[in-house]
Chains A and B, each alone.
Chain A
Amino acid sequence: MRPEVALPVLLPLLSGALSLMFWRSRPMQRFLAVAGNVALLGVSLWLFVEVLGDGYITMQMGSWPAPFGITLIADMLSAVMILLTGIIGLAMGIYSLAATGRGHEKFGYYPLMHLLLAGVAGAFLTGDIFNLYVWFEVMLVASFALLILGGERAQMEGAIKYVTLNLLASVIFLTAIGLLYGTVGTLNMADIALRMDQVEHAGMVEVLAVMFMVAFGIKAAAFPLFFWLPASYHTPPVAVSALFAGLLTKVGVYSLFRVFTLIFDQTMDYLQEIMLWGAVFTMVTGVLGAATQYEFRRILSFHIVSQIGYMILGLAIYTPLAIAGGVFAIMHNIVVKTNLFLISGITHRLQGTYQLKKMGGLYRQRPWLAVAFFVSAFSLAGVPPLSGFFAKFVLIRAGLEAEAYVATGFALAVGLMTLYSMVKIWNEVFWKALPEDNLVPAAQTPVGDDGRLLKPSLWLMYLPVVVLAFISLLIGVFAEPIMQVMNIIGDQLFAPDGYIEAVLGAPGDTEATVVEPLELDAEAVREPGEELP
């Protein structure tokens, strides 16, 4: 029994449930938002340390043996993603205290935030493909509700696109699961991986692989399936934007990494080419889209798309080093991108707008905010010695080793274009003087329900920004030990035997692994541990 595998899912569910019980008590919900997420971060650290020691930690839910019950498994990739979820969760919990309006708090902002985190953590930890679908839906439903909190026109329009395309992706995912179950007769991912080699109908495997690629591609916002993202991510309250930007698309990328290294590794021969060009076009269209925008959060939204390209590039090159680089990119991007959205929230609070043209002069007003932005933005662009540089360095080195010269060239060029966008924001928001037509401080002094002026408790917004910028710096400074962890991930994903063994036990250990697919109907209800006929 290893409770640390289940706790990252159970804790946010518990905080969410408690938060719902205290529906009318704003102070209690706010307390839970911080306390629950502190606990989540603590548990995720515990899980990370344990995984670092043991390699794999599994837990069979309800003590049903592996291919029959639902397995929770944490390998190094899951542990790192859970750790990042914990960090972002806590940052959002604190930031929301100051950034979320009373109206939003009243309509269940905090419970939804906890449920979203539970869904994300569940998706990272589950070892069962249908369970992965369920966690995706938990996450999606919470995100739908968060997205329309406030009910402005832009939010409704964004939400319709977001909901439609994400539901479409879910149905494609569900269809693929159905066909997969019909083909291999199991839902446990490790068991599927074992049986995939015995499937005679090669065409079926290819169809399945492509269906999973499309479904997760929509959720990860990869080219040409990303249009829902820049249409919706700039519409909700900024804390919600930041949470989405940090975690949601990365769950899609995580699923791509998991499924295509574990289950469909044999189809990578020809899917590699598609993914490689998909990644290149994702990078390029994202960064070009950002270049035409003059709205702070829309620029950042397009950069999410662009950065997704780097992560998928890591998977597409498909060497242990490239996968390590891809995961490095995910890790760095979660921290940095969330931080940039948080900073956009602060500048909005200070200047009352997201339009770059109307902003300015913040370098003089708030030099430390400028420094935090500088660190995050240049890290995103990949300037050494910040975190983004190492992610890009590893990816590009892997690309050169794999002789994918064109894709590598694009990755470098997109880095420059990213720098251009970031310099544009820097110039407009921080460097140039404040334009005279900015009718600022309306947003600076929020008014409470009783008509009194609320203190714009900005330090609560600054705290997570400074900490995340610091983490980004730390990732750059301690790149060597982090790279060792990434290499473990690369090796683990590239040789999934350890994963399969951790879930199903060593070959010959239980009869569960030698069940013939054809006899499944009778076998599925066989008592565990009993003799085979």
Chain B
Amino acid sequence: MEPLMALAIGLLYATAIFMMLRRSIVKLVIGLLLLSNAANLLIFTTAGMTRGAPPLIPEGMSQPLGQVADPLPQAVVLTAIVIAFGVLAFAVVLIRRAYEIVKADDLDKMKDTDT
């Protein structure tokens, strides 16, 4: 499972960076979206993928039997997803407003503040 995930994550990062390097602001936001998804999957994978072993303690015992999945990265990913969701919602509104004002979907037309 891990090699497959690694490939998927690498592909996501590559796609995200490619999209971010393009001039269109819509593609820029798509790139950001993919990038945060890639990071979330990475956290999920690096912490180790344990299959079918929920971190539950059987009744009457004080610690789980054998190897169980680590619940912490899942909590972390959940938090990260929520944050990414909020931030991306903002980014989408921002590009819409920017498009209304600048009237172009092109980063090269947004150089007024650079010089």
Residues of A within 8 A of B42 (CB): 175, 178-179
Q: Look across to chain A and name the residue whose beta carbon is closest to the beta carbon of B83.
A: A137
B32 touches A157 (CB 8 A): no
Q: Which A residues, 139 to 166, have Cβ-Cβ distances below 8 Å to chain B? A: 140-141, 144-145, 148, 151-154, 156-161, 163-164
B43 touching A521, Cβ below 8 Å: no
Question: How far is the CB of A198 from the nearest CB of chain B, in Å?
Answer: 17
Whether the Cβ atoms of A156 and B97 lie closer than 8 Å is: yes
Interface segment, A87-95, A230-238, A341-349?
A230-238
A525: contacting residue among B47, B55, B86, B113, CB under 8 A: B55
- Are A187 and B91 closer than 8 Å at their CB atoms? no
Given A148-B97, A157-B113, also A164-B39 (CB < 8 A): no
Give CA–CA (A168, B48) in the complex, Å: 25
- Knowing A231-B113, A522-B63, the reply to whether A141 touches B101 (Cβ < 8 A) is no
Q: Are B102 and A156 in contact (CB under 8 A)?
A: yes
Q: Are B112 and A157 in contact (CB under 8 A)?
A: yes
Smallest CB gap from B50: residue in A: A521
CB of A526 within 8 A of chain B? yes
Q: Please determine whether A530 and B62 come into contact, CB atoms closer than 8 angstroms.
A: yes
Asked whether B90 lies within 8 Å of A522 as measured between CB atoms, the reply is: no
Chain A residues within an 8 Å CB radius of B35:
167-168, 171
Cα–Cα, bound, A163→B110 (Å): 14
Are the C-beta atoms of A232 and B113 separated by less than 8 Å?
Answer: yes
Q: Give CA–CA (A167, B39) in the complex, Å.
A: 12
Let me know if B113 and A526 touch, CB within 8 A.
no
B77: nearest chain-A partner, CB-CB? A178
Q: Which residues of A contact B43 (CB under 8 A)?
A: 174, 177-178, 181
Q: Contact: A141 with B76, CB < 8 Å?
A: no
A141 touches B67 (CB 8 A): no
**CB < 8 Å: which of A134, A164, A183, A527 contacts B83?**
A134
**Residues of chain A within 8 A of B47, CB atoms compared:** 178, 181-182, 185
Name A322-347 residues within 8 Å CB distance of B. Answer: none
Q: Is the CB of A164 within 8 A of B20?
A: yes
CA A231 to CA B114, docked complex, whole Å: 5
Report which of A137, A161, A533 forms a contact with B87, defined as CB distance below 8 A.
A137
- Distance in angstroms from B102 CB to nearest chain A CB is 6
How does the 8 Å CB contact mask read for B35-50 relative to A, with 1 for contact and 0 for none?
1101110110111101
Q: Does A524 contact B (CB under 8 A)?
A: yes
Interface residues of B in 42-82 (CB under 8 A from A): 42-43, 45-48, 50, 55, 57, 62-64, 66-73, 76, 79-80
Cβ of B107 under 8 Å from chain A: yes
Mask of B14-49 contacts with A, CB within 8 angstroms, 1/0 = 000000100001001000100110111011011110
Q: Contacts A134-B79, A137-B87 known; A234 to B67 CB distance under 8 Å?
A: no
Q: What's the nearest-Cβ distance from chain A to residue B99, in Å?
A: 9
A160 to B110, CA, bound (A): 9
Contact present for B90 and A141 (CB under 8 Å): yes
CB of A148 within 8 A of CB of B79, answer no
With most chain B CB atoms within 10 A of its CB, the pick from A161, A178, A183 is A178
Q: Which listed residue (B20, B63, B69, B94) contacts A168, Cβ 8 A? A: B20
**Residues 214-266 of A at the B interface (beta carbon under 8 Å):** 231-232, 234-235
Q: Which residues of A contact B57 (CB under 8 A)?
A: 525
State A137–B81 Cα separation when bound (angstroms).
12
Closest chain B CB from A475 CB (angstroms) = 33
Give CA–CA (A181, B43) in the complex, Å.
Answer: 8
28 contacts between A and B (CB under 8 A): A141-B86, A153-B101, A156-B97, A157-B110, A157-B111, A157-B112, A160-B95, A164-B28, A167-B36, A175-B38, A175-B39, A175-B42, A177-B43, A178-B39, A178-B47, A179-B42, A179-B46, A182-B45, A182-B48, A521-B48, A521-B70, A522-B63, A524-B55, A524-B70, A524-B72, A525-B57, A525-B63, A527-B62
Give the 7 A-B residue pairs with the shortest CB-CB distance, closest first. A182-B46, A178-B43, A156-B98, A157-B110, A174-B39, A178-B42, A175-B39
Residues of B within 8 A of A (CB): 20, 25, 28, 32, 35-36, 38-40, 42-43, 45-48, 50, 55, 57, 62-64, 66-73, 76, 79-80, 83, 86-87, 90-91, 94-95, 97-98, 101-102, 107, 110-114
